[in-house]
Amino acid sequence: MNDDYDFFDTPIIPYTLLAEGVEITLHVRHSETMEQKSVRGTVARKAAALPEEGTHRLHVYGRLGEHISSDWFIHVTEELDEAALATDHELAQSLDMEQSLKSAEKFKESRYRQPKGR
């Protein structure tokens, strides 16, 4: 296995797109160098399900920065040019407003905090 990559959930590319054996395009960050790139590849829960050459561990993070899962791997078939990292900001803003109310992540609640009205 080669390098580790970080993938962050965004409104444009939500982590729910990760599906076993499916080829997708992701924006990733190299875990060590912090270099960002756009890659096309196949993702899987187990490294053994992908070819050994070109397979990387994929660390998945939610929008709040919480580590979602360490059980993903990506077999990179193509590194895309820098233009693939560009985002349509109007689309991103509308999706962010729409999806922020339906985030799969939740803030941790303090066990000491009492609900209002008690």
- Confidence band of 42 (pLDDT split at 50, 70, 90): very high
* Extended beta strands in the chain, E state: 4-8, 23-30, 36-44, 55-61, 67-79
Phi, psi of 15 (to 5 degrees): -65, -15
Which band of pLDDT confidence, cut at 50, 70 and 90, is reported for residue 75? very high
Give the residue with greater pLDDT, 35 vs 1: 35
Separation between Cα atoms, residue 115 and residue 42, nearest integer Å? 45
DSSP label at residue 84: G
* Pairing of β 23-30 and β 55-61: unpaired
Find the mean pLDDT for residues 10-24: 80
Tokens of 50: 């992908």
User: pLDDT-based confidence at 52, cuts 50/70/90?
Assistant: confident
pTM above 0.85, yes or no: no
